[in-house]
Amino acid sequence: MKIGVIGTGYVGLVTGACFADLGHTVVCVDNNKEKIAALRSGKIPFYEPGLEGLVTANSRQGRLLFSTSIAECVKTCEVIFIAVGTPPLPSGDADLSAIEHVCVEIATHMRSYRLIVEKSTVPVNTGEWVARTLQKHVRKGVQYDVASNPEFLREGSAIQDAEHPDRIILGVSSDRAAMLLVKLYEPLNAPLLITDIRSAELIKHTANAFLALKISFINAVARVCELTGADVTKVAKGIGMDRRIGEAFLSAGIGYGGSCFPKDVSAYVKLCEKVGYDFNLLKEVMRINTAQRTAFFDKVKKALGTLSGKKIAVLGLAFKPDTDDMRGAVSLEIISLLRKERARIFAYDPVAGENAAPLLPHVTICPDALSALRGADAALIITEWKEFRNLDLPAVKQVMKRPIIIDGRNIYDPAKMAEMGFQYWGVGRPRSESARR
């Protein structure tokens, strides 16, 4: 099949590359000329393991094309996915202006039947609004359908998630649309759920809200653990072994970040307000998430006393491992709190340093972990990169001024850290005797 994907951000590019890999011919469109030129020469605008290889291989085979022209894409592709950004407005609502703009252009160039599919995460009822927008601009007599096919991929494992999804959600309003999408996804051989458009839209938002809820729940439990002497990693394991609960997304830490959860949870709350439901539970999810940052920062102050002039090593800047994405990164919030107290910050991230540098003008971005740790009064683990789990800890202890580690991701064993002479603070875990002294 020949399909178009408009928007070459995370979702659009991964979706386009994976569809091409399934054997379809894909035209990826973006209005950013430099980005399209770079993609044509095989350069990926962000870090995602495996994506460059996939894009290069499929471009070479002629199945993955890049264009700046929506008109060209609409002319040749029967199914067109919209994967442009829906960033949060200051009000917390999703900004749908990019989607609107794309819809107007698609409609203007449509001459025969097209299936327009929402891939971006959008509030429920956006499908109807998309159909109305298309209706206003389309030529008389041209047929079309609108569908919702939300994407559930995670940054860092996007290709694996897109090629081996737990399920594919198809929100449709006609058999023709359903048949086209089923055919498109057939080679994946994944479980399909066909629903109405509104339910599909709500499934995406609800899935993200529920995952955020799981994280905030375990983070609240982590606080209880700190007050009672229990270990949240064991509590999470114990409850997660119950298949009704499941182990995933029960890692306590400094709270969720990224470009999806914070925006989607607040957009969900806004949407509920609009339709007349006060979703207080989700407001509490957001509150717990913010409190987790403050609690972490309080630990830093407790461990170090005054922060003014102290040298702090920040390990990990990206919002999660295996990405260079700084959107919604907790590191930015923690560093801003540290800066207010006049700490001197030396940071290292295996891939996000370059993206982070312009956002953190007063932070020294170091080329490796040991350079950041040298002479530090404390080290903060912000992102759980594998590299940090495998650090040479005796060398770390040797280069630091004071062996204090405040770990926001629970990557080390508290007992072993104490044995090695570190003063180690995790999240929701008892501190060993030597660390308490």
- Answer for which of 19, 144, 261, 412 binds ligand UDX (CB under 6 A) is 261
Rounded Cα distance between 129 and 34, Å, is 31
- Least distance in Å: CB of 396 to ligand UDX? 23
Are residues 183 and 211 in contact, defined by beta-carbon separation less than 8 angstroms?
no
| Site residues (CB under 6 A) for ligand UDX, limited to 319-358 | 319-320
Query: Is 106 or 382 the residue whose CB approaches ligand UDX more closely?
Result: 382
**Token pair of 420, please?**
């090695």
Rounded Cα distance between 162 and 228, Å, is 41
Query: Is 133 or 251 the residue whose CB approaches ligand UDX more closely?
Result: 251
Rounded Cα distance between 36 and 418, Å, is 52
- Which residue type sits at 377? D
Does position 292 bind ligand UDX by CB under 6 A?
Answer: no
Sheet containing 144-148, strands listed edge to edge, beginning at the edge strand earlier in sequence: 64-67, 25-29, 2-6, 79-82, 114-118, 144-148, 168-171, 192-195
- Answer for which of 197, 215, 220, 365 binds ligand UDX (CB under 6 A) is 215
| Site residues (CB under 6 A) for ligand UDX, limited to 131-170 | 151-155
Does position 235 bind ligand UDX by CB under 6 A?
Answer: no
- Answer for which of 64, 222, 260, 295 binds ligand UDX (CB under 6 A) is 260
Does position 250 bind ligand UDX by CB under 6 A?
Answer: yes
Q: Which residues of 37-49 are buried (b: 16+ CB within 10 A; e: fewer)?
A: eebeeeebeebbe
The residue number with the shortest CB distance to ligand UDX is: 260
For the stretch 36-44, contacts whose Cβ atoms lie closer than 8 Å and that sit 24 or more positions apart, written own/partner, are 36/8, 36/66, 36/67, 36/68, 39/8, 39/13, 39/66, 40/66, 44/13
Does position 253 bind ligand UDX by CB under 6 A?
Answer: yes
Query: Is 118 or 155 the residue whose CB approaches ligand UDX more closely?
Result: 155
- Answer for which of 69, 249, 270, 364 binds ligand UDX (CB under 6 A) is 249
For 21-52, what is the HEC assignment?
A: HCCCEEEEECCCHHHHHHHHCCCCCCCCCCHH
Single out the segment in contact with ligand UDX by CB under 6 A; choices: 19-27, 258-266, 361-369, 425-433.
258-266
Number of residues that bind ligand UDX (CB under 6 A): 19
Single out the segment in contact with ligand UDX by CB under 6 A; choices: 20-28, 70-78, 250-258, 356-364.
250-258
- At a CB cut-off of 8 Å and minimum separation 6, what does 72 contact? 27, 29
Does position 258 bind ligand UDX by CB under 6 A?
Answer: yes
Which is the catalytic residue, given 73, 260, 272, 366?
Answer: 260
Single out the segment in contact with ligand UDX by CB under 6 A; choices: 38-46, 89-97, 255-263, 419-427.
255-263
- Least distance in Å: CB of 158 to ligand UDX? 8
- Least distance in Å: CB of 159 to ligand UDX? 13
Rounded Cα distance between 343 and 322, Å, is 28
- Least distance in Å: CB of 152 to ligand UDX? 4
Are residues 335 and 326 in contact, defined by beta-carbon separation less than 8 angstroms?
no
Query: Is 282 or 304 the residue whose CB approaches ligand UDX more closely?
Result: 282
Question: Is the sign of the CA dihedral 103, 104, 105, 109 positive or negative?
Answer: positive
**At how many degrees (to 10) do helices 197-228 and 232-240 cross?**
140
Single out the segment in contact with ligand UDX by CB under 6 A; choices: 85-93, 111-119, 246-254, 395-403.
246-254
- At a CB cut-off of 8 Å and minimum separation 6, what does 147 contact? 115, 116, 117, 118, 127, 170, 171, 172, 173, 177, 181, 197, 200
Active site residue 260: yes
Binding-site string for ligand UDX from residue 370 to residue 409, where x marks contact by CB under 6 A and - marks none: ----------------------------------------
- Least distance in Å: CB of 185 to ligand UDX? 17
Query: Is 153 or 366 the residue whose CB approaches ligand UDX more closely?
Result: 153
Are residues 378 and 406 in contact, defined by beta-carbon separation less than 8 angstroms?
yes
Does position 256 bind ligand UDX by CB under 6 A?
Answer: yes
Query: Is 258 or 353 the residue whose CB approaches ligand UDX more closely?
Result: 258
Query: Is 213 or 417 the residue whose CB approaches ligand UDX more closely?
Result: 213
Nearest to 116 by CA among 145, 139, 88: 145
Sheet containing 311-315, strands listed edge to edge, beginning at the edge strand earlier in sequence: 364-365, 344-348, 311-315, 378-381, 404-407, 423-425
- Answer for which of 251, 355, 410, 423 binds ligand UDX (CB under 6 A) is 251
Q: Which helix (H) or strand (E) segment is 389 a member of? A: helix 386-389
Residues that bind ligand UDX (CB under 6 A): 151-155, 208, 211, 215, 249-251, 253, 256-258, 260-261, 319-320
- Active site residue ranges: 260
